[in-house]
Amino acid sequence: MLVQNSLSEVLRAREELFSKTNWTDPTSQLQNRVKGEELARYFLLTESEILGIQNTIRLLVSTTPYYLSLSDPSDPNCPIRRMIVPTSDESIFSEEESPDPLEEERLSPVRGLTHMYPNRVLLFSNHSCSVYCRHCMRGRKVSSSDERMEKADLENAFDYIRKHPEVDDVVVSGGDPLNLADSRLEWILKELNEIPNVKICRLGTRNPVTLPFRITNEICKVIERFNDDNLSIFCNTQFNHPRECTKEAKDAILRLLRVGVSVGNQAVLLKGINDDEEIMLDLHKKLLEMRVRAYYLYDPELIPGSRGFRTPLARGIEIVEYMRGKIGGMGIPHFVNDLPGGGGKITIGANWYLGYHPKTRQHAFRSAVTKRIHFSFEPVGSNRESYYPIISDSEWEKFQNQ
């Protein structure tokens, strides 16, 4: 039975938690994480949230004090709170959902490694994270101690990569690889650096968002040591809302940039959190100010209990369409769907290209800036006309009279 506190008790509990946490020390932040039913001390919970905490069918519930401090204790619609606190939606497993919609396990030749694309593999380095995001698409593995990757598992994964010279790009994710001890991450990077075919390593981490103090000078030095002529290290993170773009987050990004690691953002489109044109534009403007380039905007996966987060596919298309022309291309993410069944990612976008009119040898395009139709010629002698969708004479006429 969860005991509900008054707002003043909640605010006092927050103050106590924040003052006992050594704020910039990642270990202290992790030691003082708020877990499961303890959330009742720090939020005025709704009935739906109480049910969600008690009955979630997904990953564990936990947040750092830092990330908690970005949330609103009394507003159940607060975007940060929605990513921390489960609701009753998380206890419903719909028929169309699956714990592993991308079939990563089927595509896993050795424990903890998924080989979906010809030249790229996903290495699941660990099962823990600083905050357990309610929309996490790897809830089947993340936070479960059964999924712990032992050294021998990682060695098998390295062997597999070594024996597959076509693999030149390794995504290290989890869990969050920056939740590993420095020494373990150092070993992983050293191993990857020494495999001749591996040229690219991408660290997938949400720590810049949920625990920016984890991006210490020490871990940056480790990364810098292996970010060399043999191996190029990138970092992809996941800011989902402008409220996450804090001074602390920017400082963490700058520390990564100083060791030559550029940071890209893989936002997830989340109902009631960021499924709004202005919020998404603001987020990506703030990210550019933090020197983070837009990379992806994910259509959320059909994972168990995800109904509270999913939006119609059209929302992602509309939002990215809206952004075009209002922010430089570096700030516009590719809206992607990671196809169920292991089909890999595809990009989905607004239709700016309207087609080709053979008689005039012209293509027609919609402009994001003028909102008008613009035209451009196919080269003389081109033999690619059959490649394009054809514009009929009557449609062409309409375009001319716009």
**Using CB under 6 A, which of the segments 96-104, 171-179, 367-375, 394-402 binds ligand SF4?**
171-179
Binding mask 206-235 for ligand SF4 (x = CB under 6 A): x-----------------------------
Tokens 């909102």 belong to which residue?
371
- 104 or 176: whose CB is closer to ligand SF4? 176
**Using CB under 6 A, which of the segments 10-18, 172-180, 184-192, 301-309 binds ligand SF4?**
172-180
DSSP code per residue over 279-327: HHHHHHHHHHHTTPEEEEEEPPP--TT-TTT---HHHHHHHHHHHBTTB
State the DSSP code for 76: T
Binding mask 293-332 for ligand SF4 (x = CB under 6 A): ----------------------------------------
Q: Are strands 120-124 and 113-117 parallel, antiparallel or unpaired?
A: antiparallel
Tell me, by CB under 6 A, how many residues bind ligand SF4: 10
Helix axis angle, 247-258 relative to 217-226, nearest 10°?
Answer: 30
The alpha-helical segments, DSSP class H, found in 21-141 are 26-31, 47-55, 65-69, 79-84
- 172 or 320: whose CB is closer to ligand SF4? 172
Question: Within positions 127 to 146, which residues make up the interface with ligand SF4, using CB under 6 A?
Answer: 129, 132-133, 136, 138, 142
Helices (H) and strands (E) in the chain, counts: 13, 14
What distance in Å separates the CA atoms of residue 62 and residue 74, rounded to the nearest whole number?
Answer: 18
**Using CB under 6 A, which of the segments 40-48, 110-118, 170-178, 283-291 binds ligand SF4?**
170-178
Tell me the β-bridge partners of 283: none
> What is the smallest separation between the CB atom of 364 and ligand SF4, expressed in angstroms?
41
Does residue 188 contact residue 225 with C-beta atoms inside 8 Å?
no
Q: Does 244 bind ligand SF4 (CB under 6 A)?
A: no
Would you say 201 is a known binding-site residue? Answer: no
Q: Does 176 bind ligand SF4 (CB under 6 A)?
A: yes
Residue 295's contacts (CB-CB under 8 Å, 6 or more residues apart) are 236, 264, 265, 266, 333, 334
**Using CB under 6 A, which of the segments 64-72, 117-125, 126-134, 151-159 binds ligand SF4?**
126-134
> What is the smallest separation between the CB atom of 132 and ligand SF4, expressed in angstroms?
5
Would you say 129 is a known binding-site residue? Answer: yes
Question: Within positions 187 to 206, which residues make up the interface with ligand SF4, using CB under 6 A?
Answer: 206
Rg (CA), the chain: 23
Closest alpha carbon to 332 in 277, 402, 394: 277
Binding residues for [4Fe-4S] cluster: 129, 133, 136
Binding positions: 129, 133, 136
Which chain residues interact with ligand SF4 by CB under 6 A?
129, 132-133, 136, 138, 142, 174-176, 206
